[in-house]
C-alpha cells in the first residue's frame, strides 16, 4: 500500500468497475483515530490534504460533508485543479484504521431527483480474492421512484447473498442513520435503529462467517448504470450532474486492529455491542420490514438456485 505525504492529492477514477479494484494505491495515513463529529472539516480542492480525522479521502470531493460525481473530472496534481470530461469519475473515503468487529453508524442524505445509474455505497471490506465484506448500497432511480437499499455479505470471497429493500421514507429529503453491527454472533443492518437484516454466525453448521479478517470502512459514490437501475435498462442522465450525496455524524464503537492485535482483547472491555443480537422487539421490527419492504431475497430466488438454496437460507430467513 502506497503511503502519500501530507499535502498531496490523488483521484480515484472508477470507470464502471468495482471500487476496490483501485484500492491498492489509495492513500494511507497512520495515527490516532478520532470519532468526533464526522466530516466537519472545511474541504478545499485547491489546498486540502487528504488527512481528516479518522479518514483518508479519495478525490474528487465537493462541499463539506459531501461526496459527488462531478460533470467534469477534477484531477488533482499537487492540489491544483485540472478539468477533463470523464463520466466514469466517482469519489469516496476510506478509514485509516482496520477493525475486527464493531458497531458503525453514519448519517446519509442520498442523491436527490433523477439519480438513476448512480450507486452510493457504504461498506466494510478486507482486500484480496478471499476477502470479507459487509455492504450497504443505495441504488439510484428515476425521479419519483423509490431508492433500493441493496445489502450483501461476503465471506472468504463468496458473496451472492443479496437482499433488497425499499425504505419507508424519502432518503433524499433529510439525513437518516444507517448502521452495521458486526460481532462474533451476527451481522445486523439497521436504518434509524430499525433492523432490516440479520446474518447469523452459523459456523457450527459449516457456513463461513467473517470473523478473522480485519476490515476498513469505505464509502463511495459512483456510476454503475450498467446494472444499478432496473438491471441497467435505465442509464445515467448526465444532464442532471453533478450528483451529490451528503454525510455527517459518523460514529464507530469498534475493535481497532493493529500489529496483529485487537483493541478489544483487554479483559476490561465491556462493550455491550460485542454480544448484541435481536431481542423480542427487534425481531418483531425486522419481521415488519421484511414483510412490507423487502423486494428481493436470494433465499427465495428459485430461478437463481434451481439446485437448492445456499445452506444459510435455512437459518437466516
pTM of the predicted structure, to 2 decimals: 0.77
Average pLDDT over residues 118-134: 92
Question: In this structure, what C-alpha cell is assigned to residue 72?
Answer: 467534469
Average pLDDT over residues 64-68: 50
Is residue 13 domain-resident?
A: no
14 Cβ neighbours under 8 A, 6+ residues apart: 21, 22, 88, 89, 90, 220, 222, 223
* pLDDT given for residue 87 in this prediction: 57
* pLDDT given for residue 212 in this prediction: 94
Is residue 264 domain-resident?
A: no
User: Is 235 strand, coil or helix?
Assistant: coil
The mean pLDDT value of the chain amounts to 74
Q: 99, 108, 142, 149: which is closest to 253 by C-alpha? A: 99
CATH number (domain holding residue 129): 2.60.120.200
Average pLDDT over residues 107-126: 90
- Gyration radius from the chain CA atoms: 19
Give me the phi and psi of 180, to 5 degrees please. Answer: -125, 120
Q: Is the per-residue pLDDT at 83 higher than 60?
A: no
Catalytic machinery residues: 133, 137
Could you list the residue range(s) of the whole structural domain that residue 227 is in?
A: 19-257+271-316
Question: In this structure, what C-alpha cell is assigned to residue 47?
Answer: 489546498
Average pLDDT over residues 252-281: 86
Q: 196, 176, 35, 182: which is closest to 106 by C-alpha? A: 176
Is residue 164 domain-resident?
A: yes
Identify the residue with better confidence: 68 or 129. Answer: 129
76 Cβ neighbours under 8 A, 6+ residues apart: 9, 10, 11, 45, 59, 60, 82
Domain tally for the chain?
1
Count the Cβ atoms, other than its own, within 10 Å of residue 38. Answer: 22
Count the Cβ atoms, other than its own, within 10 Å of residue 272. Answer: 8
Is residue 249 domain-resident?
A: yes
Is residue 25 domain-resident?
A: yes
Task: State the Cα–Cα distance between residues 159 and 178, nearest whole angstrom.
Answer: 21
Q: Could you report the per-residue pLDDT of 169-219, keeping only the tens digit for each? A: 999 999 999 999 999 999 999 999 999 999 999 999 999 999 999 999 988
Q: 26, 51, 39: which is closest to 251 by C-alpha? A: 39
Residues of the chain with pLDDT > 90, as a percent, come to 44
Least confident among 64-78, 97-111, 242-256: 64-78
Q: 151, 170, 179: which is closest to 290 by C-alpha? A: 151
* pLDDT given for residue 105 in this prediction: 93
Q: Could you report the per-residue pLDDT of 19-62, keeping only the tens digit for each? A: 333 222 222 221 212 222 233 222 222 223 344 445 554 444 44
Is residue 128 domain-resident?
A: yes
Calculate the alpha carbon distances from 138 to 175, 178, 183 in Å. 14, 11, 23
Cell 434451481 belongs to 306
* pLDDT given for residue 270 in this prediction: 67
79 Cβ neighbours under 8 A, 6+ residues apart: 7, 8, 9, 45, 46, 47, 48, 49
Average pLDDT over residues 257-275: 81
Is residue 263 domain-resident?
A: no
Residue 82 · residue 20 · CB < 8 Å: no
Is residue 8 domain-resident?
A: no
3-state helix, strand, coil in the chain (%, to 5): 15, 35, 50
Amino acid at each position: 500500500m502506497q503511503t502519500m505525504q501530507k499535502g498531496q492529492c490523488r483521484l480515484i477514477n472508477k470507470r464502471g468497475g468495482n471500487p476496490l479494484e483501485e484500492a491498492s494505491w489509495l492513500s494511507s495515513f497512520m495515527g490516532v483515530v478520532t470519532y468526533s463529529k464526522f466530516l466537519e472539516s472545511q474541504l478545499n480542492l485547491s489546498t486540502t490534504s487528504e488527512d481528516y480525522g479518522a479518514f483518508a479521502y479519495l478525490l474528487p470531493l465537493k462541499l463539506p460533508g459531501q461526496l459527488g460525481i462531478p460533470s467534469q473530472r477534477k484531477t488533482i496534481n499537487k492540489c491544483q485543479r485540472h478539468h477533463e470530461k470523464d463520466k466514469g469519475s466517482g469519489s469516496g473515503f476510506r478509514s485509516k484504521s482496520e477493525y475486527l468487529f464493531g458497531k458503525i453508524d453514519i448519517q446519509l442524505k442520498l442523491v436527490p431527483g433523477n439519480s438513476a445509474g448512480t450507486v452510493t455505497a457504504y461498506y466494510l471490506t478486507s482486500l484480496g480474492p478471499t476477502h470479507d465484506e459487509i455492504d450497504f448500497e443505495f441504488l439510484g432511480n428515476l425521479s419519483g421512484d423509490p431508492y433500493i437499499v441493496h445489502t450483501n455479505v461476503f465471506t472468504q470471497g463468496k458473496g451472492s447473498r443479496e437482499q433488497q429493500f425499499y425504505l419507508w421514507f424519502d432518503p433524499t429529503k433529510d439525513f437518516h442513520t444507517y448502521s452495521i453491527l458486526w460481532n462474533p454472533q451476527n451481522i445486523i443492518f439497521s436504518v434509524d435503529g430499525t433492523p432490516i437484516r440479520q446474518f447469523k454466525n452459523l459456523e457450527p453448521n459449516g457456513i463461513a462467517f467473517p470473523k478473522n479478517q480485519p476490515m476498513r470502512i469505505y464509502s463511495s459514490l459512483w456510476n454503475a448504470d450498467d446494472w444499478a437501475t432496473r438491471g441497467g435498462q435505465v442509464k445515467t442522465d448526465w444532464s442532471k450532474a453533478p450528483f451529490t450525496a451528503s454525510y455527517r455524524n459518523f460514529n464507530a464503537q469498534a475493535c481497532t486492529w493493529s500489529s496483529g492485535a485487537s483493541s478489544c482483547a483487554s479483559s476490561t472491555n465491556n462493550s455491550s455491542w460485542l454480544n448484541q443480537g435481536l431481542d423480542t422487539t427487534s425481531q418483531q421490527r425486522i419481521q415488519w420490514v421484511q414483510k412490507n419492504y423487502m423486494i428481493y431475497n436470494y433465499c427465495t430466488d428459485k430461478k437463481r438456485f434451481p439446485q437448492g438454496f445456499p445452506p444459510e437460507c435455512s437459518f437466516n430467513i
